[in-house]
Structure 1
Amino acid sequence: MISSRLYLQSRGIIVRSPPLLTLRHTTASRFLSASSMAAKAIPVIVCGRREAIGEAVAAGLQPEYELVHFVKTPEAGVADLPLVLAGRVPTSTAPSSVGTGNVARGAAAVILGGGYGDEDYAVMRKAVDAAALKRRTVWLRNNLSVAMPPPGPEYGKAVVVRVKDLLARLGGEGRLDGEDGGAYWY
């Protein structure tokens, strides 16, 4: 190919061909696709008692949603949620390895697992409301009257299905835009 190209060029014939894609180009395009997908993911916070279930929920929510912070206790929620929703890094008393930590955009939703009851919700909601944030977030609460598998991997999968369905509906209704602030059951 190169020798025939040189021969043609020596005869005054201009040879134009598209540039060859290198590994560098294809790797860059894959990186750009992945990063643009991550940029489109809607940030959410999950409150759960078990990190193992939180990890399963985080994985199941992708790629549409990004679990940015995981809250293990209501006390940590009171301290962390106002900060994370304001786009600031929390100084949690109960740190977790679950979640990406990408809190700069805040979160569109706070998702409460089955281990969080009415009192837990009320105390965390009060802390968030007292912070007087510019953006309001929706709260998703687990409807415990719906039959679910026992806590474990299957429980996490069932939660993901219900949460994704509700988030998709709320997103379609424009309720994840920071204006709503309502509480919804999944």
Structure 2
Amino acid sequence: MAFPMPLIVCGKVPQVAIGVREGLKPAYDAIHIMMSVESGINEIPSLLQGYRPSANDSENLGSQRYGQKPVAIVTGGGYSDDDFAKMRKACEGLSSVPWLRHDLSNSFDPSNARPKLGLEYGKQIAERVKNCLKELAESGKMNNDGVYYY
């Protein structure tokens, strides 16, 4: 697949989402960044089918380069199990891309202070996302619907 590979990112904190977007470059392009469950439910299905989102979302911090279908959906730690399930259900049968979730149980080194939510934290998260995507590619799972933790 040609670079950068398009991703959908679902976050809750704009500064973290911007850090993730920047940290994913140049290999990945966060084409659309959602900041709520409702946006995810309404917009991810269209994006997975290769369509532009129907609403003009002023909160969208993504590149908005909608030329290719996304290869994965990345959700941040602010989404509960219920939130995540609602977004996945809205997309049932529309695509076979991996869904990445933040593994909150493995997020922080207990010997260090919890990182401040901001750009640098977002870039740290992006590194974990890139590692997860690399593992999925190496194991041939990039075209498999499933839930994978980073």
Following superposition, the deviation at residue 48 of structure 1 comes to 0.4
Number of aligned residue pairs = 143
Structure showing greater Rg: 1
Which amino acid letter does the alignment assign opposite residue 50 of structure 2?
G
Identify if the C-alpha distance between structure 1 residues 109 and 56 changes in structure 2 by more than 3 Å, giving closer, same or farther: same
Following superposition, the deviation at residue 42 of structure 1 comes to 1.1
Q: Does 1:68 align with 2:68?
A: no
- The residue correspondences of 1:34-183 to structure 2 (distance < 5 A) are 39-92=2-55, 94-129=57-92, 132-133=93-94, 135-146=95-106, 147=108, 149-176=115-142, 178=143, 180-183=144-147
State whether residues 22 and 123 of structure 2, in contact with CA within 8 Å, keep that contact through their aligned partners in structure 1. Answer: no
Q: Give me the TM-score of the superposition, normalised by structure 1.
A: 0.72
State whether residues 23 and 126 of structure 2, in contact with CA within 8 Å, keep that contact through their aligned partners in structure 1. Answer: yes
Identity across the alignment (%): 36
Structure 1's consecutive aligned runs of 4 or more residues displaced over 3 angstroms after TM superposition are 92-95
Question: Which one has the bigger helix percentage?
Answer: 1
Which amino acid letter does the alignment assign opposite residue 120 of structure 2?
E
**Residue 124 of structure 1: SS of its match in structure 2?**
helix
Measured on the aligned residues, the alpha-carbon RMSD in Å equals 1.6
C-alpha separation in 1, matches of 2:132 and 2:116: 21
Structure 2's unaligned 5+ residue stretches are 109-113
Deviations 1:88-144 (A, max 9, x none): 011247532411112231111110011111011000000000xx32x3110000011
Following superposition, the deviation at residue 62 of structure 1 comes to 0.6
C-alpha separation in 1, matches of 2:58 and 2:36: 10
State whether residues 48 and 54 of structure 1, in contact with CA within 8 Å, keep that contact through their aligned partners in structure 2. Answer: yes
Identify if the C-alpha distance between structure 1 residues 175 and 95 changes in structure 2 by more than 3 Å, giving closer, same or farther: farther
Structure 1's unaligned 5+ residue stretches are 1-38
State whether residues 23 and 124 of structure 2, in contact with CA within 8 Å, keep that contact through their aligned partners in structure 1. Answer: no
